[in-house]
Amino acid sequence: MSMQFQPPTLIGASNGIVETNPFLPPKQLARAAGTVMTYEFKSLKPKKQLKEIVKVLLPEKKRFLKIPYRFAFNMKDRCVVCGTQKIWDGGDPIRPPIPLHKVRKGYPMRGTYCEKHAHIHRQYEMLEQQILADEHGLSFSAYIPSAKSLNPLASGPLTSLKETDISSLSSLGWAIKPPQGLSESKEEELFRLIIETDSLNERIKSLLKEGVKLEEEKVVE
């Protein structure tokens, strides 16, 4: 029994179809080309789990008589683990970092990670941060970016203020004035001054409720 997965072009695959044996050992199954998956650890201890996942992400090497001698997929737009071709978009939020030849350290590779191994690399990063947090007695919670947080400036810069905005800012002590070079009609000026006056009155009332009082000498001055 075998599962068929059709990823982008693979080195050494004539028809682009790669058969993944589901009965492979967990490490080999995780390193093989395939769909996105979460690596299942054998060990329960985080530091041993880190060693496991690093072995999964090590770049594949060519072998001669079972002796590794150089990297098999160290080329542009190829997954350094399984050889899957993957061209990442520069703005893709799940785009992985440049692979290092020893995962945690070493010199940068020319290749990249496919979607499957990019997901496993993200799992490795979360585990590393969890270990670091545990060592310093901190609580750790994984950050999962939402669609809204990925593009915080989608609405663009502010070009106008609503009446409620002006009222809120004025009550906090902000002076709202039109930008330099922009003419303000008398009607607009009157409207702005009325709002600012109402806001200042509300601020005075809140200060009086808090018990703020002026000294008589300051009032006379």
Distances in Å between the Cα of 152 and the Cα atoms of 71, 142, 179, 184 are 40, 20, 25, 31
Please indicate, yes or no, if residue 58 is contained in any of the structural domains. yes
- pTM for the full predicted model: 0.55
Report how far residue 30's alpha carbon sits from residue 121's, in angstroms, rounded to the nearest whole number.
Answer: 11
Q: DSSP labels for 175-220? A: ---PPTT----HHHHHHHHHHHHHHHHHHHHHHHHTT----HHHHH
User: Do 54 and 123 lie in a common domain?
Assistant: yes
Please indicate, yes or no, if residue 117 is contained in any of the structural domains. yes
Please indicate, yes or no, if residue 146 is contained in any of the structural domains. no
Q: Tell me the per-residue pLDDT of 107-137, one tens digit each, with 9 for 90 and over.
A: 999 999 999 999 999 999 999 988 888 888 7
Q: Tell me the per-residue pLDDT of 67-87, one tens digit each, with 9 for 90 and over.
A: 888 899 999 999 999 999 999
Please indicate, yes or no, if residue 7 is contained in any of the structural domains. yes
User: Do 127 and 182 lie in a common domain?
Assistant: no
pLDDT at 54: 94
Please indicate, yes or no, if residue 148 is contained in any of the structural domains. no
180 vs 45, residue with greater confidence: 45
Residue 142 has pLDDT above 70, yes or no: no
Please indicate, yes or no, if residue 121 is contained in any of the structural domains. yes
User: Do 75 and 119 lie in a common domain?
Assistant: yes
Please indicate, yes or no, if residue 189 is contained in any of the structural domains. yes
Q: DSSP labels for 133-145? A: HHHTT--------
User: Do 33 and 97 lie in a common domain?
Assistant: yes
Q: Tell me the per-residue pLDDT of 11-49, one tens digit each, with 9 for 90 and over.
A: 444 444 455 666 788 899 999 998 998 999 999 999 999
**Helix ranges (DSSP H) in the chain:** 26-31, 46-57, 115-135, 163-171, 186-209, 216-220
User: Do 129 and 197 lie in a common domain?
Assistant: no
Report how far residue 35's alpha carbon sits from residue 25's, in angstroms, rounded to the nearest whole number.
Answer: 17
Please indicate, yes or no, if residue 142 is contained in any of the structural domains. no
145 vs 186, residue with greater confidence: 186
Listed residues 93, 120, 135: the one ending a domain: 135
Residue 191 has pLDDT above 60, yes or no: yes
In the chain, how many domains are there? Answer: 2
User: Do 13 and 91 lie in a common domain?
Assistant: yes
User: Do 114 and 26 lie in a common domain?
Assistant: yes
Where in the sequence is the domain holding 192, given as residue range(s)? Answer: 163-220
User: Do 121 and 19 lie in a common domain?
Assistant: yes
Reported as half-sphere exposure (CB side, CA atoms, 13 A), residue 34 has a value of 18
CA torsion 9-40-67-11 (nearest 10°) is 0
The encoded tokens of residue 217 equal: 């000498």
Listed residues 116, 135, 154: the one ending a domain: 135
Reported as half-sphere exposure (CB side, CA atoms, 13 A), residue 75 has a value of 9
Q: Kindly indicate the confidence band of residue 2, based on its pLDDT and cuts at 50, 70 and 90.
A: very low
Report how far residue 82's alpha carbon sits from residue 109's, in angstroms, rounded to the nearest whole number.
Answer: 14
